[in-house]
Amino acid sequence: MNATIPVYVLTGFLGSGKTTLLNRVLDDAKARGLKPAIVMNEVGDVNVEGQTIDAAVPMAELLGGCICCTSKGDLGLELVQLAQQEKPDVIWIESTGIAQPLDVVEGVTEASLYAKLELANVVTVVDARHLLDRIRIGSGKTFRLMKEQIRAADILVLNKADLVAPAELEELREALAAWNPQAVIHVVSRAELDPRALYAYAPSGGKSRAVFEASQEDELEPTDREASDGRFKFANASAGHAHVNAFTYFFGNDIDSVRFERFLKELPENVYRAKGIVGFRDTASLFLFQHAYGESDFLRVTPQKSVNRVAVFIGEGFSREKLEQRLKELEA
Ligand SMILES: Nc1nc2c(ncn2[C@@H]2O[C@H](COP(=O)(O)OP(=O)(O)OP(=O)(O)O)[C@@H](O)[C@H]2O)c(=O)[nH]1
């Protein structure tokens, strides 16, 4: 009988450092001769960061919606297919920054009816600077979501420690411990921790162990759930993130780097996250860019295959027309 594949859920608000951590996890798995597989979920229509992940790692992408609502059913399907086709040693799910983690967990439990999967730890990455600001404001949807993600965790990674003072870090650690006394807390910058710490601990034995115990005995055939096209069908929950919107823009031309950096700095506050691949005229190179909570990063890339020049913006109630107008100006 095949071994049960542990499934890890990586959550945390937009731009907190999930992909940075995932890359460490994948390097560690490779070094230890393990075969990982990943599921990446993006609110936008393009998986920008997926292009930076080691091409040898089997990856399923769920784009254009959040796992926890519009594509929860797809998550189950992708998990089953990954498990059956790739037979990985471990699966990591990186959910969108706006996901309700317990809904993602439910998607995993559904998949466990059809494949030998087991929910292991929920790992939540927290952006120290952003959380501190939200604590100061003290209310709002984003703050509530951050708290839910923190409460759902088995392991908390308090990241971006470099962006706050030591006393503030202590205040944050206390807040995390108060909201989730069971979780282990790692305080880090650039998600620098030994990934083995993520595998070691499951205080609750996984969030839904009881559900698994009922379903692990046999791998069920997906007969009664088979859709008319022969593919498995999983329940889709109703949409839960009407307030969050994503806008994807495909560039037709290369742009000027200095003007683009200024454009990112001047993004409205209700755009929480921007990322993409741009071509700069002045350097004649392609760059992967990241913008999260006021900070931008650029990484020169030399893709093996042709890639789109594209930018994805995620936020709440911003005007896509205005952004589009400014992007067109940059291309002129
Ligand atoms: N200053 C600072 N920047 C960091 C740290 N960790 C990650 N970053 C940067 O923060 C940005 C977002 O990091 P990601 O790992 O892509 O975040 P994410 O959670 O995967 O983002 P989404 O998938 O969009 O939700 C990138 O520009 C990172 O280089 C940190 O500890 N300190």
Pick from 20, 164, 187 the residue to mutate for probing ligand 1's pocket: most ligand atoms within 8 Å of its CB: 20
For residue 127, the CA-to-ligand 1 centroid distance in Å is 8
Identify whether 176 is part of a domain.
Answer: yes
Pocket lining: 19 vs ligand 1, CB cutoff 6 Å: yes
Report the b/e string of 229-254 with b at 16+ CB within 10 A. Answer: eeebebeeeeebbeebbbbbbebeeb
pLDDT score of 165 more than 50: yes
Neighbours of 168 (CB within 10 A): 16
Q: Could you tell me the CATH number of the domain that includes residue 304?
A: 3.30.1220.10
Higher per-residue pLDDT: 110 or 120 = 120
* 30-34, 77-81, 191-195, 315-319: least confident range: 315-319
Read off the pLDDT band of 87 (50, 70, 90): very high
CA-closest residue to ligand 1 atom 7? 17
pLDDT score of 161 more than 80: yes
Q: Could you tell me if 195 and 269 lie in one domain? A: no
Pocket lining: 267 vs ligand 1, CB cutoff 6 Å: no
State the closest ligand 1 atom to the C-alpha of 12, by its place in the atom list counted from 1.
19
Q: Which ipTM score applies to this complex?
A: 0.98
Q: Could you tell me the CATH number of the domain that includes residue 49?
A: 3.40.50.300
Identify whether 238 is part of a domain.
Answer: no
State the closest ligand 1 atom to the C-alpha of 49, by its place in the atom list counted from 1.
16
Q: Could you tell me if 172 and 252 lie in one domain? A: no
Identify whether 316 is part of a domain.
Answer: yes
pLDDT of residue 17: 96
CB 124 within 8 A of CB 153: yes
Q: Could you tell me if 59 and 172 lie in one domain? A: yes
State the closest ligand 1 atom to the C-alpha of 296, by its place in the atom list counted from 1.
27
Q: Is the dihedral of CA 33, 121, 20, 53 positive or negative?
A: positive
Residue found under tokens 């742009």: 255
Mean pLDDT for the chain? 81
Q: How far apart are CA 275 and CA 289, in angstroms?
A: 5
Identify whether 220 is part of a domain.
Answer: no
Q: Could you tell me if 39 and 120 lie in one domain? A: yes
Q: How far apart are CA 235 and CA 31, in angstroms?
A: 38
Backbone angles phi, psi at 150, to 5 degrees: -70, -40
Pocket lining: 315 vs ligand 1, CB cutoff 6 Å: no
pLDDT score of 310 more than 90: no
pLDDT digits (tens, 9 = 90+) for 108-117: 877 877 788 8
pLDDT digits (tens, 9 = 90+) for 199-241: 865 544 444 332 222 233 333 333 333 333 333 333 333 434 4
For residue 17, the CA-to-ligand 1 centroid distance in Å is 4
Q: What is the dihedral of CA 168, 169, 170, 172, to 10 degrees?
A: 90
Q: How far is CA 13 from the centre of its chain?
A: 8
Q: How far is CA 10 from the centre of its chain?
A: 6
- Domain range spanning residue 310? 244-331
pLDDT of residue 163: 97
Across the range 115-127, mean pLDDT stands at 90
Percent of the chain scoring above 90 in pLDDT: 45
pLDDT of residue 73: 66
* 82-86, 147-151, 162-166, 212-216: least confident range: 212-216
Identify whether 181 is part of a domain.
Answer: yes
Q: Is the dihedral of CA 296, 300, 303, 309 positive or negative?
A: positive
Higher per-residue pLDDT: 63 or 264 = 264
Percent of the chain scoring above 70 in pLDDT: 80
pLDDT of residue 56: 83
Neighbours of 154 (CB within 10 A): 24
pTM for the full predicted model: 0.76
Could you please report the per-residue DSSP string of 137-170?
H--SHHHHHHHHHHHT-SEEEEE-GGGS-HHHHH
Residue count of the chain: 332
Q: Could you tell me if 256 and 209 lie in one domain? A: no
Q: How far apart are CA 175 and CA 236, in angstroms?
A: 34
CA-closest residue to ligand 1 atom 28? 17
pLDDT score of 267 more than 50: yes
Across the range 308-323, mean pLDDT stands at 85
Number of structural domains, the chain? 2
Pocket lining: 15 vs ligand 1, CB cutoff 6 Å: yes
State the closest ligand 1 atom to the C-alpha of 290, by its place in the atom list counted from 1.
27
* 55-59, 255-259, 320-324: least confident range: 55-59
Identify whether 29 is part of a domain.
Answer: yes
Backbone angles phi, psi at 227, to 5 degrees: -80, 170
Pocket lining: 206 vs ligand 1, CB cutoff 6 Å: no
Residue 278: which of 247, 262, 256 has the closest Cα?
Answer: 256
Pocket lining: 162 vs ligand 1, CB cutoff 6 Å: yes
Across the range 46-74, mean pLDDT stands at 71
pLDDT score of 92 more than 50: yes
pLDDT of residue 100: 75
pLDDT digits (tens, 9 = 90+) for 190-200: 999 999 999 86
pLDDT digits (tens, 9 = 90+) for 277-289: 899 999 888 999 9
Q: Where are the alpha helices (DSSP H) in 43-163?
A: 72-86, 101-111, 128-137, 141-151
Q: Could you tell me if 253 and 305 lie in one domain? A: yes
State the closest ligand 1 atom to the C-alpha of 21, by its place in the atom list counted from 1.
15
